[in-house]
């Protein structure tokens, strides 16, 4: 039976995991807390490979205080030998007698086996928790689960637009359509992402850094990857994106020379001698990236949509009207001929951000293949 104390400690496990958000893929993000006699004696977060899992880090910090304690973790403990030994083995050896954890690991190699191993070792396992905790734990692994099911990253298209659906004026000016609260939320989205994808048009027009930054405009170490679609190597060597630390991938149709040493070049042409977006996503999947943010202009957005590679929309709407037939929109091209051919979405939430609002929705493709 869960108590208010159990809920508080599960909330703490969720909260501490945030410090490694966007860093641990292909592993799922997990937080763990060990309590004995009402006091926290150890806590941990899953580290990037080849580091420890959250449960092992918590056990190591707790030391001799684990015996008879309770472990709170946000995902079912890992139960097989991989790069790391099974967490279940460490839990059993530590003498922990109770585990509170709301969800099974969707990985078919685990998926209940972790709980089963613990129960066989006489460790009490409690999986029932209130809906709020369950929802938050599921959010932590949504991209991980998508990757397991679809063998590719979960891709969120993020855009900021005016009330009349414009992302920039006719000459490309877009600063700022939305308010600071909205822009701060964008930095949090970047913080939680494994990588950001954009096109060369956005680089040439806006010269963005594509990093997550705090309120003092300080770099937060995220995302791990920034990915640019640049078929023919138009990116200037003095672009701001090169001036911040972090891994950069430039996907092109031809081999690019004279790039900074730390920049990786994926040469992946399609049949039209442009960047093959499908191949790019395969390459990013091979890197183990689970959660990608698409921040680009109408052409790139449309190409991803046509390939059914946009899973979610995050649309920040400002309280301005840009107007004009030549002003730029989220998507380009002719679009649907008939309304019945338009894509449908499932709106998940609408959030008020003072004078702005954020719409989050999932795209429902007619044929999701």
Q: What is the reported pLDDT for 368?
A: 56
Q: Are 141 and 75 in contact (CB under 8 A)?
A: yes
Q: What is the reported pLDDT for 2?
A: 65
In the predicted structure, residue 50 carries a pLDDT above the cut 60: yes
pLDDT band of residue 64 (cuts 50, 70, 90) is very high
pLDDT band of residue 194 (cuts 50, 70, 90) is very high
Give the integer Cα–Cα distance in Å for 283 and 227. 11
Q: What is the reported pLDDT for 297?
A: 92
In the predicted structure, residue 214 carries a pLDDT above the cut 60: yes
Q: Are 107 and 76 in contact (CB under 8 A)?
A: no
What is the strand order of the sheet 31-36 is part of?
Answer: 39-45, 31-36, 70-73, 98-100, 124-126
Q: Are 70 and 97 in contact (CB under 8 A)?
A: yes
Active-site pick, 55, 76, 136, 295: 55
Question: What value does the mean pLDDT of the chain take?
Answer: 93
Close Cβ partners of 17 (under 8 Å, ≥ 6 residues apart): 29, 30, 31, 45, 46, 54, 74, 140
Q: What is the reported pLDDT for 367?
A: 67
pLDDT 10s digits, 113-169: 999 999 999 999 999 989 999 999 999 999 999 999 999 999 999 999 999 999 999
Q: What is the mean pLDDT of residues 51-61?
A: 96
Q: What is the reported pLDDT for 220?
A: 80
pLDDT band of residue 4 (cuts 50, 70, 90) is confident
Q: What is the reported pLDDT for 39?
A: 95
Q: What is the reported pLDDT for 293?
A: 98
Q: Are 51 and 44 in contact (CB under 8 A)?
A: no
Q: What is the reported pLDDT for 120?
A: 96
Give the integer Cα–Cα distance in Å for 249 and 197. 9
Fold observed for domain 151-364: Dihydrofolate Reductase, subunit A (3.40.430)
Q: What is the reported pLDDT for 57?
A: 97
Share above pLDDT 90 across residues of the chain, in percent, rounded to a whole number: 82
Q: What is the mean pLDDT of residues 62-91?
A: 93
Own/partner pairs for 168-173, CB < 8 Å, 24+ apart?
168/205, 168/297, 168/322, 168/327, 168/328, 169/322, 169/324, 169/327, 169/328, 170/324, 170/326, 170/327, 170/328, 172/205, 172/206, 172/328
**Is 55 known to be catalytic?**
yes
Question: Which residue ranges make up each domain of the chain?
Answer: 4-143, 151-364
pTM of the predicted protein model: 0.90
Q: What is the reported pLDDT for 219?
A: 79
Share above pLDDT 70 across residues of the chain, in percent, rounded to a whole number: 99
Q: Which CATH number fits domain 4-143: 3.40.140.10, 3.40.1180.10, 3.20.20.70, 3.40.605.10?
A: 3.40.140.10
Of 148 and 366, more confident: 148
Q: What is the reported pLDDT for 40?
A: 97
Q: What is the mean pLDDT of residues 207-223?
A: 84
Give the integer Cα–Cα distance in Å for 268 and 270. 7
In the predicted structure, residue 66 carries a pLDDT above the cut 90: yes
pLDDT 10s digits, 268-318: 999 999 999 999 999 999 999 999 999 999 999 999 999 999 999 999 999
């Amino acid at each position: 039976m869960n108590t208010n104390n159990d809920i508080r400690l599960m909330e703490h496990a969720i909260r501490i995991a945030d410090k490694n958000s966007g860093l641990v893929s292909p592993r799922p993000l997990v937080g763990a807390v060990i309590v004995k006699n009402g006091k926290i004696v150890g806590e941990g977060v899953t580290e990037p490979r080849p580091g420890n899992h959250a449960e092992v880090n918590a056990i190591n910090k707790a030391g001799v205080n684990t015996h008879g304690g309770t472990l709170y973790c946000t995902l079912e403990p890992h139960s097989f030998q991989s790069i790391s030994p099974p967490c279940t083995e460490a839990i059993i050896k530590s003498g922990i007698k109770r585990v509170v954890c709301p969800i099974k690991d969707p990985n078919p190699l685990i998926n209940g086996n972790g709980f089963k191993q613990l129960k066989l070792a006489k460790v009490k396992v409690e999986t029932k928790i209130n809906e709020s905790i369950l929802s938050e734990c599921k959010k932590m692994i949504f991209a991980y689960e998508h990757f397991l099911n679809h063998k590719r990253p979960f891709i969120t298209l993020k855009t900021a637009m005016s009330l009349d659906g414009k992302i920039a004026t006719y000459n490309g000016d877009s600063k700022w359509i939305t308010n600071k609260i909205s822009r701060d939320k964008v930095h949090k989205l970047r913080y939680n992402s494994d990588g950001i994808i954009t096109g060369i048009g956005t680089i040439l027009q806006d010269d963005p850094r594509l990093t997550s930054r705090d309120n003092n405009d300080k770099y937060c170490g995220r995302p791990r990857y920034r990915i640019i679609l640049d078929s023919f190597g138009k990116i200037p060597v003095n672009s701001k994106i090169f001036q911040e630390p972090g891994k950069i991938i430039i996907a092109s149709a031809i081999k690019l020379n004279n790039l900074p040493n730390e920049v990786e070049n994926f040469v992946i042409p399609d049949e039209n001698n442009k960047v093959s977006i499908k191949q790019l996503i395969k390459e990013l999947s091979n890197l183990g990236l689970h959660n990608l943010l698409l921040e680009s202009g109408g052409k790139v957005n449309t190409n991803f949509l046509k390939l059914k590679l946009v899973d979610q929309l995050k649309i920040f709407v400002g309280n301005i009207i840009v107007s004009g037939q030549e002003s730029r929109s989220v998507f380009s091209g002719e679009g649907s001929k008939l309304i019945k051919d338009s894509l449908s979405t499932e709106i998940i939430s609408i959030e008020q951000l003072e004078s702005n609002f954020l719409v989050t929705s999932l795209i429902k493709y007619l044929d999701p293949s």
